[in-house]
Chain A
Amino acid sequence: EPEVTQTPSHQVTQMGQEVILRCVPISNHLYFYWYRQILGQKVEFLVSFYNNEISEKSEIFDDQFSVERPDGSNFTLKIRSTKLEDSAMYFCASADWGRETTQYFGPGTRLLVL
């Protein structure tokens, strides 16, 4: 069964550094998402991406964040100048055409900012 994959599974970085989180969505899906989940809290929407551009973004997704689909398979989240409060689990998800409400999540990247 096709699945969403994410790398790395864990990332430790120093405050102020840049990190890139990588995702490979399910191959025929057209909608891509990034979410974050601070430990013990709910899943928070960051951004959705369709047709090579951002569809929606939350108030969390400020100029510190950017997304890119550099090729036909990868979908990346870049966090510039990381802050302590960026420590969280980051999930990528994808959905098929016409089924945006049925999202398939990757296993997540646990980011720790020191």
Chain B
Amino acid sequence: GQSLEQPSEVTAVEGAIVQINCTYQTSGFYGLSWYQQHDGGAPTFLSYNALDGLEETGRFSSFLSRSDSYGYLLLQELQMKDSASYFCAGGYQKVTFGTGTKLQVIP
């Protein structure tokens, strides 16, 4: 089976940097994806790490260490619109989402 654990809530200040962690226990692992979900909205794909290391996409970066079964999403230059829930996800044809982290950006 698969399980992906995340902190339930994180609060950060506008303009700052925040890191959202994801630790996982999984078999048949094919990398780690990250999704953003605003309240009442659908998940939106942010990034995917197939290999160890850092992937950068604009203000968002994602990191994966398969040996540590660990990844994180890094959000820089936080904006109020970044307030949302963030999910890590693993798997291939059968995708398991993490428990989700609700990020609140405050002025």
With contacts A101-B48, A102-B33, A102-B48 known, is A45 near B96, CB below 8 A?
A: yes
Task: For chain A, residues 80 to 114, give those with C-beta under 8 angstroms from any C-beta of chain B.
Answer: 91, 93, 100-108
Residue of B whose beta carbon sits closest to that of A56: B94
Q: Does B44 contact A (CB under 8 A)?
A: yes
The residues of A that contact B97 with a CB separation of less than 8 Å are: 35, 42-45
Q: Are the C-beta atoms of A105 and B42 separated by less than 8 Å?
A: yes
Task: For chain B, residues 67 to 107, give those with C-beta under 8 angstroms from any C-beta of chain A.
Answer: 87, 89, 91-100
Docked complex Cα distance between A57 and B93 (Å): 9
Determine how close the nearest CB of chain B comes to the CB of A39; give it in whole angstroms: 10
Q: Does A33 contact B (CB under 8 A)?
A: yes
Interface residue tally for chain B (C-beta within 8 Å): 24
Q: Are the C-beta atoms of B43 and A91 separated by less than 8 Å?
A: yes
With contacts A101-B30, A102-B33 known, is A33 near B95, CB below 8 A?
A: yes
Q: Does A55 contact B (CB under 8 A)?
A: yes
Q: Are the C-beta atoms of A101 and B43 separated by less than 8 Å?
A: no
The residues of B that contact A48 with a CB separation of less than 8 Å are: 93-95
- Neighbour of A100 across the interface among B37, B92, B98, CB < 8 A: B92
Q: A43-B97, A45-B94 are in contact. List 17 more A-B contacts (CB 8 A).
A: A42-B100, A43-B89, A43-B100, A45-B97, A48-B93, A48-B95, A55-B94, A57-B94, A91-B43, A101-B33, A102-B45, A103-B33, A103-B45, A103-B95, A105-B42, A105-B45, A106-B42
A-B contact pairs, 23 of them (CB 8 A): A33-B95, A35-B97, A42-B87, A42-B100, A43-B35, A43-B37, A45-B94, A45-B95, A48-B94, A48-B95, A55-B93, A55-B94, A56-B94, A100-B92, A100-B93, A101-B33, A102-B45, A103-B45, A103-B95, A105-B45, A106-B42, A107-B41, A107-B42
